[in-house]
Structure 1
Amino acid sequence: MQFGSRRKKLNTDIQTELYGHPLQFYGQPPLENISLTEFETFAVERLKLLKTIENLGVSYVKQSEQYSQKLQSEIKNLNFPYRPEADDRKIQTGPTEYEKRRKDHISHFILRLAYCQTEDLRRWFIQQEVDLFRYRFNHLHPTQKLEFLHKNSLQYDTVSAEEKVILKDKLVNSSYAVSGITVEGQDFYKVPFQDALDLVRTRKVYLKAGYVYIPHQDIVTIVLNDFRTRLSKALALTARSLPAVHSDERLQPLLNHLSHAYVGQDYSIQKNVGKISLEQIDSLSVKSFPLCMRQLHQSLRENHHLRHGGRMQYGLFLKGIGLSLEQAMQFWRSEFVKGKVDADKFDKAYAYSIRHMFGKEGKRTDYTPYSCIKVILSNAPSQGDHHGCPFRHSDPELLKQKLQVYKVSPSGISQILELVKGMHYQLACQKYFELTHNIEDSNFSLSHPNQYFVESQRILSGGKDIKREMDTPKRSQENSAAKGSNTTHEAAANPSQDLADMTDEQIDSFFQDA
């Protein structure tokens, strides 16, 4: 993919080839120049869409009416293609639809670069893209489906009228939503059974001599298998090309950032300073802290110490809920001196890092509280650590015991553990929120520990809470990808100042050198 200060329009032939149909297999990469700003904007908006698809896929039955309505609304809001016209020729030259399809095409390839880097990222990306493809294919007009199949060389043998008459009863009895009246009036495709294992497994098709007879409305299963296979191979090839991409100093920080991106509310701007007292923290930790922060608070109270990873994760969370620098100093000092750290040692070894969190030392970067994605994907806790996500990093049996201690019902624990088993860690935390607040639907998509706190306070106080203003501009984990790029280079040039990424030993060495 090329980049430049100005975008050039694709010529008419390429435009017709790429965007002449509302759906594509993304076989041809983009060939135009785009700016870095457009690069980031497209990527973040597609990431928002894919995360919505993930949440809806667990909260609702896929392809149900409620699922489709919510997904259509999100696709429309983010200005991606949806609900194509029956006669697509009327709109394929229209600038609005062209821009939607162009954005869909380019954003897919950008996220390919970001999500090809590990097996977990590839698996997540494929699943969400397949779900999005299924929704779009199912909403195509029948003539558009046939056009798509022909365009992509998906030519399957159509069952003859004579064979349909012979197999009529078997097709009716084995095919979902097919009656004797409609057998003659619709196409059936004869496909090798290994290409339709999902349909065979659910007994939705007639199987004979190694072939399955698929009614036209179920052909989506075959198309999805093809799409999944193509995308999986494409991601493997993209991963092989990453060294060349990473040699571009503009792209590497952007792509690394996207794979860990947080695309929700900004909690770095403190608007609630002074509204939380230190005396309230114990009770708030039980009522309104997510499990990760409740775990850190409990460990701090018991051991009077947290290692670096825990201090950063919990300290920035407390900053986000409204603790001032002075309160933070008092909180950490009072707790540490109860353990093996006297006041003098605290001032020499720990006070600097607390001021650093608030942007008062070093690069004077005002650090942002960690999002769920950062907590889940950052360095995993080792022995003696208490940071991280309990749903991601805890042994399932230990997690079960902890939930029992916190009086979560047995059925609720089963639901949470099932989500954890499916690697839906944020959704498991959201289920924990619903169970501990006695609500059936939280009506928000959890993506940040501070969001958990804000929503909890809203519910517990009947809406009259300290919830921060919702007109705060949204952003990624850094102020922008460009800023993230600068921060990355600064950290590389002077790693001793980036305390967020330093170990305890490195920090001790830093203070000794200072």
Structure 2
Amino acid sequence: MQFPSRRKKFITNSQTELYGHPLQFYGQPPLENISLTEFEALAVDRLKLLKTIENLGVSYVKLSDQYTKKLQFESKTLNFPYRPDADDRKSQAGPIELEKRRKDHISHFILRLAYCQTEDLRRWFIQQEVDLFRHRFNDLNPKQKLEFLHRNNLQYETISVEEKKTLKDKLVKSSYAASGVTVEDQEFYKVPFQDALDLVRTRKVYLKAGYVYIPHHDIVTIVLNDFRTRLSKALALTARSLPAVHSDERLQPLLNHLSHAYVGQDYSIQKNVGKISLEQIDSLSGKSFPLCMRQIHQSLRENHHLRHGGRMQYGLFLKGIGLSLEQALQFWRSEFIKGKVDADKFDKAYAYSIRHMFGKEGKRTDYTPYSCMKVILSNAPSQGDHHGCPFRHSDPELLKQKLQFYKVSPSGISQILELVKGMHYQLACQKYFELTHNLEDASFSLNHPNQYFIESQKVLGGGKDIKREMDAPQRSQENSATRGSSAAPEEAANASQDLAEGTEELDSFFQDA
């Protein structure tokens, strides 16, 4: 894939062939040239879609009406294919639909590059892509499903009318989707049982002589297993090629940033600086801080010290909720001198790093508070550390004790631990929010600790004086994704490179003296 500065959009014959069906296995990588600006924009939009799928998969029954409607709405909003062509008389999709399919195709491969880097990233990516594929496949009409099978050489053997009559009673008893009437009107596929273990395990199919007989309605299970296997192998192969990809200095910072991407509100630009008083912090930590910040605050009050990971995570969070530079210096100094650090040592070893965090030293960069993804995936805590995500990095038994200490109900703790078990860490934090604020359902998708604080203040009714303005400009990678095509691609690469270098520079300033 090459990246010239501009790309004139038009639909070629090869694209018409490649995108002739509304669904694909992503077996053929894109070969066209795109700009770095479009590269990032496509990736961010698909990441938003996959994040939505993750949230919907826990909030609703998958493939229920609510789930389907919300996913279709999000796909339409982000300009992805959201339903097959309703008019079967069309022999080919129009230019608008082909462009959507092109976006779907290219964005999938971009995120492959970003999410093949670790086992956790691969597992998350596969799960969301499988759920998206299931939704789209079930939305196809019977004719389109058969066409998809043929296009991808999934030549499952259909049984003859005579065999169907012979096995009619057994097929009806074993397949909930079949009845005495419908069994004659639908196709049944004869598939080796090892290709349909999920259906065999749940006893949804008739098994005979090493083969299972699957009604057309359930063929999605076989297709999904095939898709999952292909995608898993493709990610492993992509991971092997990463050294070559990372040798391109334009791509490496973009891909690393995408794998930890946060695509929501930017909390670095403050309109209410100084609205938080130091006397409020203890009270707010118990009412409106997410669990990650609450535990760091408690540790700071108990030990009068934090290692650099905790200082970075907590310091940027406090900055994001409105703590001014002067207040931050006073806050950290007053706490550290209660421990083993005297005022002179604090001024020499720590004050510069705090001013640097507020953009008053070094590159004078306005550093952004950490998003949930960055907290979860970056700089895992070691012994003696108190930063990180409690839902990701705490032992389940210790997490349970912590939740009990904070008076979360036993049933609530069970719900949280179940989400943690499924590796839905942000959803576990959102459930913690609902339980501690007595809400049936939060009206937002949690992606950022500072978002947690703002939403908490809204619920508690005390956010008018201290909450950040929600219309603050967004300065994350979403900003570069929405820039016009006239922006030079080098700017996107340089911005991501500056972000990576700036974070590393800030890390170095927080090291203990």
What TM-score do you get using the length of structure 2 for normalisation? Answer: 0.94
Inter-CA distance 323–434: structure 2 relative to 1 (3 Å threshold) = same
| Contact 2:41/2:478, CA 8 A, preserved across alignment | no
User: Which position in structure 1 is the counterpart of 2:253?
Assistant: 253
User: Which position in structure 2 is the counterpart of 1:354?
Assistant: 354
Instruction: Give runs of aligned pairs for residues 312-331 of structure 1, distance below 5 A.
Output: 312-331=312-331
| Contact 1:310/1:385, CA 8 A, preserved across alignment | yes
Q: Deviations over 1:345-375 (max 9, x none)?
A: 1111111011011100011111000000000
Q: Deviations over 1:279-328 (max 9, x none)?
A: 11101000000000000110111111111111110000000001111111
Instruction: Give runs of aligned pairs for residues 197-208 of structure 1, distance below 5 A.
Output: 197-208=197-208
User: Which position in structure 1 is the counterpart of 2:338?
Assistant: 338
| 1:428 corresponds to 2:434 | no
User: Which position in structure 1 is the counterpart of 2:58?
Assistant: 58
CA–CA distance in structure 2, aligned partners of residues 358 and 265 of structure 1:
19
User: Which position in structure 2 is the counterpart of 1:304?
Assistant: 304
Q: Deviations over 1:230-251 (max 9, x none)?
A: 1111111111111111111100
Offset at residue 178 of structure 1 (A): 1.4
Offset at residue 478 of structure 1 (A): 8.6
CA–CA distance in structure 1, aligned partners of residues 21 and 499 of structure 2:
45
CA–CA distance in structure 1, aligned partners of residues 466 and 510 of structure 2:
34
Offset at residue 473 of structure 1 (A): 4.0
CA–CA distance in structure 1, aligned partners of residues 237 and 61 of structure 2:
33
Offset at residue 504 of structure 1 (A): 2.1
Code of the residue aligned with 1:142 in structure 2: it is P
Code of the residue aligned with 2:28 in structure 1: it is Q
Q: Deviations over 1:64-99 (max 9, x none)?
A: 111111111111111100111244563845221121
Code of the residue aligned with 2:57 in structure 1: it is G
User: Which position in structure 2 is the counterpart of 1:486?
Assistant: 494
Offset at residue 474 of structure 1 (A): 3.9
Instruction: Give runs of aligned pairs for residues 228-267 of structure 1, distance below 5 A.
Output: 228-267=228-267
Deviates more, 1:358-367 or 1:89-98: 89-98
User: Which position in structure 1 is the counterpart of 2:487?
Assistant: none
User: Which position in structure 2 is the counterpart of 1:286?
Assistant: 286
CA–CA distance in structure 2, aligned partners of residues 271 and 174 of structure 1:
64
User: Which position in structure 1 is the counterpart of 2:404?
Assistant: 404
Inter-CA distance 248–81: structure 2 relative to 1 (3 Å threshold) = same
User: Which position in structure 1 is the counterpart of 2:377?
Assistant: 377
Code of the residue aligned with 1:407 in structure 2: it is K
Instruction: Give runs of aligned pairs for residues 64-463 of structure 1, distance below 5 A.
Output: 64-87=64-87, 90=90, 92-461=92-461
Secondary structure of 1:207 counterpart: strand
Deviates more, 1:101-110 or 1:270-279: 270-279
CA–CA distance in structure 2, aligned partners of residues 232 and 159 of structure 1:
31
Unaligned runs of at least 5 residues, structure 2: 482-489
User: Which position in structure 1 is the counterpart of 2:471?
Assistant: 471
CA–CA distance in structure 1, aligned partners of residues 477 and 42 of structure 2:
16
| Contact 1:263/1:475, CA 8 A, preserved across alignment | no
CA–CA distance in structure 2, aligned partners of residues 391 and 210 of structure 1:
43
CA–CA distance in structure 2, aligned partners of residues 118 and 450 of structure 1:
27
CA–CA distance in structure 2, aligned partners of residues 233 and 373 of structure 1:
25
Inter-CA distance 266–75: structure 2 relative to 1 (3 Å threshold) = same
Offset at residue 11 of structure 1 (A): 6.3
CA–CA distance in structure 2, aligned partners of residues 352 and 99 of structure 1:
51
Unaligned runs of at least 5 residues, structure 1: 509-514
Offset at residue 389 of structure 1 (A): 0.6
| Contact 2:254/2:496, CA 8 A, preserved across alignment | no
Higher RCO (CA-CA < 8 Å; seq separation 6+): 2
| Contact 1:478/1:484, CA 8 A, preserved across alignment | no
Secondary structure of 1:289 counterpart: coil
Secondary structure of 1:176 counterpart: coil
| 1:498 corresponds to 2:505 | yes
Inter-CA distance 492–402: structure 2 relative to 1 (3 Å threshold) = closer
Inter-CA distance 428–11: structure 2 relative to 1 (3 Å threshold) = closer
Secondary structure of 2:214 counterpart: strand
CA–CA distance in structure 1, aligned partners of residues 265 and 55 of structure 2:
17
| Contact 1:172/1:179, CA 8 A, preserved across alignment | yes
CA–CA distance in structure 1, aligned partners of residues 492 and 356 of structure 2:
18
CA–CA distance in structure 2, aligned partners of residues 170 and 492 of structure 1:
61
Offset at residue 443 of structure 1 (A): 1.6
CA–CA distance in structure 1, aligned partners of residues 337 and 200 of structure 2:
65
| Contact 2:296/2:310, CA 8 A, preserved across alignment | yes
Identity rate of aligned residues, in percent? 85
Secondary structure of 1:180 counterpart: coil
| Contact 1:430/1:442, CA 8 A, preserved across alignment | yes
| Contact 2:158/2:189, CA 8 A, preserved across alignment | yes
Aligned residues: 505
Inter-CA distance 81–304: structure 2 relative to 1 (3 Å threshold) = same
| Contact 2:416/2:428, CA 8 A, preserved across alignment | yes
Secondary structure of 1:408 counterpart: coil
| Contact 1:10/1:32, CA 8 A, preserved across alignment | no
Inter-CA distance 484–290: structure 2 relative to 1 (3 Å threshold) = farther
CA–CA distance in structure 2, aligned partners of residues 45 and 92 of structure 1:
26
Code of the residue aligned with 2:213 in structure 1: it is Y
Code of the residue aligned with 1:445 in structure 2: it is S
| Contact 2:322/2:468, CA 8 A, preserved across alignment | no
| Contact 2:23/2:148, CA 8 A, preserved across alignment | yes
Secondary structure of 1:191 counterpart: strand
Code of the residue aligned with 2:282 in structure 1: it is D
Q: Deviations over 1:356-414 (max 9, x none)?
A: 11100011111000000000111111111111111111111111111100000111111
CA–CA distance in structure 1, aligned partners of residues 294 and 492 of structure 2:
30
Inter-CA distance 8–122: structure 2 relative to 1 (3 Å threshold) = same
Secondary structure of 1:90 counterpart: coil
| Contact 1:454/1:467, CA 8 A, preserved across alignment | yes
CA–CA distance in structure 2, aligned partners of residues 27 and 10 of structure 1:
22
CA–CA distance in structure 1, aligned partners of residues 361 and 334 of structure 2:
22
CA–CA distance in structure 2, aligned partners of residues 339 and 304 of structure 1:
5
| Contact 1:126/1:231, CA 8 A, preserved across alignment | yes
Code of the residue aligned with 1:30 in structure 2: it is P
CA–CA distance in structure 1, aligned partners of residues 411 and 261 of structure 2:
33
Code of the residue aligned with 2:296 in structure 1: it is L
Q: CA RMSD in A?
A: 2.1
CA–CA distance in structure 1, aligned partners of residues 64 and 17 of structure 2:
32
Deviates more, 1:38-47 or 1:486-495: 486-495
